[in-house]
């Protein structure tokens, strides 16, 4: 396929106001207090086994919260659109892991045919390899959001510096390439750790997961993918598909290309309007200038 030959979009520089101090989630606050208490208990006669047991249990809970993509225990996590968007009959179709030079253009054409808007959570390194395609996503009225710079498999094991570097580099690169500063972030595979939310807070990024997903990177049957996405489909839903790493069906065609037209038709039949996350979500804190 030939890359789109559109001229570069002007870079839109958005300045976020300095965020307020990071609001500690209750679980993190309780964890910090537990560590202080355990350190004190360890100094008492016979106290260290109890302290060690409490810390092990605490870390198991923190790990479990990070392995649960829709959890809000480690900080705010958008799993549905706000009530105002739901009242307008809006839903969000999101596509991860692109842009892909074969799949993404076909997805864009299908969205155009339905008059629908979607949100593309892009891997910045892939966007840099196909900059004209990223600009085409924006030109057609869709939103580009941050899905990390490299999509590291060990993303959830990174410390504060690694997280800031991985997200910050992607933020700058996607803004430079597409002329839009992302306002949302989705963690690779949805996995994270307690050090992620302070980074997102500082950058003014919403953590966005989903209401339901189709598992279209591993499921070859488009009927089953569609069933997962549409069971209980309702206003305010955030749906997850992939234009990158798309599983192919028996015919060799990417499953998402068989699912998306049927999904868009279901939305029309239910009176639901697919919109971008930019349209549905307010800024995380303050207003961009």
The b/e string for 46-67 (b: 16+ C-beta within 10 A; e otherwise) is: eeeeebeeebeebeeebeebbe
For residue 119, count other CB atoms closer than 10 A to its CB: 28
pLDDT given for residue 6 in this prediction: 40
For 156-185, what is each residue's pLDDT tens digit?
Answer: 999 999 999 999 999 999 999 999 899 999
First-residue to last-residue Cα distance in the chain: 38
Round the average pLDDT of the chain to a whole number and report it.
90
> What are the helix (H) ranges across the chain?
26-42, 48-67, 83-87, 103-114, 124-129, 131-139, 160-178, 196-203, 222-230, 255-269, 277-280
pLDDT given for residue 19 in this prediction: 61
Residues 6+ apart with CB under 8 A from 74: 25, 27, 28, 62, 65, 66, 192, 193, 194, 196, 197
- The pLDDT-based confidence of 209 (bands split at 50, 70, 90) is very high
For 232-286, what is each residue's pLDDT tens digit?
Answer: 999 999 999 999 999 999 899 999 999 999 999 999 999 999 999 999 999 998 5
Higher pLDDT among residues 126 and 153, named by residue: 126
Within 13 Å and on the Cβ side, how many CA atoms surround 134? Answer: 27
Whether the pTM exceeds 0.75: the reply is yes
The CATH superfamily holding the domain 83-280 is Glycoside hydrolase/deacetylase (3.20.20.370)
Mean pLDDT of the region 74-91:
98
**Domain ranges, ordered by start, for the chain:** 26-67, 83-280
177, 138 Cβ separation under 8 angstroms: no
Distance CA 253, CA 204 (A): 38
Query: How distant, in Å, are the alpha carbons of 15, 163, 205, 249 from that of 19?
Result: 11, 18, 11, 46
Mean pLDDT of the region 93-119:
98
For 41-53, what is each residue's pLDDT tens digit?
Answer: 777 787 778 778 8
């Amino acid at each position: 396929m030939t890359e789109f030959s559109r001229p570069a979009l002007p870079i839109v520089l958005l300045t976020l106001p300095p965020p307020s101090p990071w609001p500690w989630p209750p679980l993190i606050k309780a964890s910090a207090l537990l560590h202080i208490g355990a350190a004190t208990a360890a100094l008492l006669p016979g106290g260290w086994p109890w302290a060690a047991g409490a810390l092990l249990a605490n870390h198991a809970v923190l790990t479990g919260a990070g392995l649960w993509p829709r959890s809000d225990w480690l900080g705010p996590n958008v799993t549905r659109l706000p009530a105002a968007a739901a009242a307008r009959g809006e839903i969000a179709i999101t596509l991860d892991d692109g842009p892909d030079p074969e799949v993404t253009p076909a997805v864009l054409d299908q969205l155009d045919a339905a008059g629908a808007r979607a949100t593309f959570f892009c891997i910045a390194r892939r966007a840099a390899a196909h900059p004209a395609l990223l600009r085409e996503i924006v030109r057609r009225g869709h939103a580009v959001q941050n899905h990390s710079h490299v999509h590291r498999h060990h993303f959830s094991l990174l410390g504060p510096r690694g997280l800031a570097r991985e997200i910050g580099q992607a933020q700058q690169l996607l803004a430079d390439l597409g002329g839009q500063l992302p306002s949302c972030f989705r963690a690779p595979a949805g996995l994270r750790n307690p050090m992620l939310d302070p980074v997102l807070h500082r950058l003014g990024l919403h953590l966005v997961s989903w209401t339901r997903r189709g598992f279209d990177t591993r499921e070859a049957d488009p009927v089953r993918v569609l069933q997962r996405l549409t069971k209980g489909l309702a206003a305010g839903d955030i749906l997850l598909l992939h234009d990158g790493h798309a599983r192919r069906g028996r015919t060799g065609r990417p499953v998402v290309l068989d699912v998306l037209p049927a999904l868009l038709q279901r939305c029309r039949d239910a009176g639901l309007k697919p919109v971008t996350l930019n349209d549905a979500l307010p800024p995380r804190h303050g207003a961009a200038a």
